[in-house]
A and B are shown apart, each in its own frame.
Chain A
Amino acid sequence: MAYILLGIVLLPLLGSIINGLLGKKLSKSNVATIASGSIGLSFVLSIIAFIQLQSAENRVINVDYYKWVVSGMLDVPMGFWLDSLSSLYILVITGVGFLIHVYSIGYMHEDDGFSRYFSYLNLFVFFMLMLVLGNSYVTMFVGWEGVGLCSYLLIGFWFKNHAYNDAAKKAFIMNRIGDLGFILGMALLFITYGSLNYADLNKPGAITYTSATTAIALLLFLGATGKSAQIPLYTWLPDAMAGPTPVSALIHAATMVTAGIYMVVRSNAIYSLSETASLVVGIVGGVTALWAAIIATLQFDIKKILAYSTVSQLGLMFLGLGANAYSSSVFHVITHAFFKALLFLGAGSVIHAMGGEQDIRKMGGLSKKIPTTYLTMLIATIAISGIPPFSGFFSKDEILAHVYEYNKGLWALGVIASMLTAFYMFRMLFLTFWGYFRGGSELYKHLHESPSVMTIPLMILAVLSVIGGLLGLPELIGAKNWIGHYLDNVILIKTYLGLSHSIEWMLMGIAVAGAVASIYFAYQLFVINGVLPVEDEAELKWWQKIIYHKFYVDELYDFIIRRPIDFLGKVVDRFFEKMVFNGINDSISSITLFLGEWIRKIHIGNIAYYIMAMTISIIVILSMIK
């Protein structure tokens, strides 16, 4: 078993190294085979591991390879931890990852950085597997940092564009803020519970409520808000759409952004103990779900809509985590991976057909030209909107049922967010595929369906989006809710009691009715009345402008965070290093002219001043002696 797990993790790394070092010398088809093949093999091994896990004791396999960090009481092994939770995650990562790799072969075929792209993508999969398979928080953190790095490299993949580089930097810095919380949380966790290894923390009674529990939960959650794009650190994700579309599908929809959910579920004992932390998680998740859904309703860029939709869906998952419905959130992670990856890949296919255009105002009537893409995206849209019996319905419904029991106010947030989801997703679908083409006749001739290497992954994902709900059919209709029971041994403390059947039926009814009503409203607006999004920003009403500009959050951050830091940097740079110590400088030359001889007589910039500054410091220090 040890070798199988090692193989799962190291195969992508091997692919990455080969493509990274030799990529330029290999042919494109070889690069593609190595990259997809390594992930494919990894997927096969994951299935084997999954099957073997079923017969393991307690469904947990813990493998230590060697002692990694030993310092004081801290003793962190380098090893892997395969249990119900991580086995599901590795299947999704390698399975969906494999499909996206195959799709990328078609999508990136004309790109100069073909081998570099696959090298990064494989590296990403490696770190993501480290993240979910590591058997301690430290190993998780290594993966956590690694996927951040790969995400940064891939967002800035088309480095020639300056704005893309900025987007990459933004993602990196936002993630670093979150990581600060993660590190502090980890440190506090270690101080409080004396270990960072799952093996120790999963022992019964290892985690009890102390005064630090809430603080640990909140600090770790700060890390999750960075990685999983929640308020207040969500703004990097929409900008991250600068990367190639398959990257958005893999990293910024299906896998990396759900790392925050993985981490919270992994720490579920801590969150279940702290009511305050759970409530904070729930509120942040609920508000993010609604907030991002509102922003999504007025976006024009097809990838931006999907990005905000991802933020909103992640919010929904955190809402579920807040209600301690861990297995439901994991269920939603899986179905979301299917249909959101499909949506992104479909959007990629649309962009491919449109020759790089991403603005839905320039699209329309594409269903006849690219029918496969249309049909698969239709399936995904229905799935995300929560129409039974598609997969999104079951997972979303399960979360909302738990939240209803937990807190009615948060439940209302979730339902409104779901209705808005149905609305903006169908708005996107109608504007893109229905009606008439608005991109000019020149482009119309150019429209073509993508090659089969791209459409086959779409079809597979479409099938999964339809049947994904089978994993967790509710007990209400007499099924077993397989995933709920499967994850039982991971969830250390259970709080869910269950609602009466009549209420569950009612909740389902409300959700479906809300979704159908939203879809009908979108149909009325965009198909029957043929409303088109305005071309000119000036025609927007004031409240629409606020939403269109994403509530000005970026501007707000710019104002309260970036500028003061820039300002401080400038002050220290100019004042201390240049004016005081290093003297007359171009940037203050106007002032210099003003003060003329007086400043020049101070002879700033020479040894005497350095000595003077040192002497003054020495005098101050000597006067500090007790």
Chain B
Amino acid sequence: MINGISIDYFILLSAVLFTIGAIGVMARRNSIIIFMCIELMLNAVNILLVAFSTLHQNAEGQVFVFFVMTVAAAEVSVGLAILTMIYRNIKSIDTNLLSNLKD
């Protein structure tokens, strides 16, 4: 219980946000928005970590959130760099155009 709210609700909230992110990755075609959706997924996890951190009364979870943020930033910066190259080559960032590799 955190402030009278059961931990289950925190898990539920985070799961819902995570799912919204996952659906976004699946459904959107614009690569930038896909990155945003991945961010959403990672941040949903951050909420969960902070909630558990409060529940267990230790700071490890909150420290881990910083790691997650750093890694997410690294991922996105790499992603944006790749996107720039793609844009230079095909003048688009629509994921549907990126299906040359297939059987």
Contact = CB atoms under 8 A, between A and B. Distances in A.
Q: Do chains A and B directly touch (beta carbons under 8 Å) in the complex?
A: yes
Contacts of B25: 608, 611
A531 interface: no
Interface string A29-73: 000000000000000000000000000000000000000000000
Interface stretch (B57-65, B84-92, B93-101): B93-101
| Size class of the A contact interface (CB-based, 8 Å) | 10 to 19
A603 B98 CA distance: 11
A229 to B, nearest CB: 38
A578 B103 contact: yes
B98 A606 contact: yes
B56 interface: no
B99 A605 contact: yes
B26 interface: yes
A133 B96 CA distance: 63
A608 B94 CA distance: 11
A582 interface: yes
Nearest to A579: B103
Contact of B103 (A577, A608, A612): A577
A210 interface: no
Contacts of B95: 606-608
Interface of B (DSSP majority class): helix
Contacts of A573: 103
A332 B97 CA distance: 70
Contacts of A612: 26
> What DSSP secondary structure best describes chain A's contact surface?
helix
B75 to A, nearest CB: 15
A585 B103 contact: yes
Contacts of A577: 103
B27 interface: yes
Interface residues of B, number: 12
A615 interface: yes
B26 A608 contact: yes
B103 A606 contact: no
A615 to B, nearest CB: 6
A457 to B, nearest CB: 54
Given A606-B95, A606-B96, A608-B95, A583 B27 contact: no
A619 to B, nearest CB: 10
B96 A603 contact: yes
Contacts of B99: 583, 605-607
Nearest to B94: A606
B26 A615 contact: yes
A468 B57 CA distance: 92
A469 to B, nearest CB: 63
Nearest to B25: A611
A569 to B, nearest CB: 13
Contacts of A608: 25-27, 29, 95-96
Contact of A611 (B26, B29, B98, B102): B26
Interface of B: 22, 25-27, 29, 34, 95-96, 98-99, 102-103
Given A608-B27, A608-B96, 10 more contacts: A573-B103, A582-B103, A583-B99, A583-B102, A606-B95, A607-B98, A608-B26, A608-B95, A612-B26, A615-B22
Interface of A: 573, 577-578, 582-583, 585, 603, 605-608, 611-612, 615
28 contacts: A573-B103, A578-B102, A578-B103, A582-B102, A583-B102, A585-B102, A585-B103, A603-B96, A605-B99, A605-B102, A606-B95, A606-B96, A606-B98, A606-B99, A607-B95, A607-B98, A607-B99, A608-B25, A608-B26, A608-B27, A608-B29, A608-B95, A608-B96, A611-B22, A611-B25, A612-B26, A615-B22, A615-B26
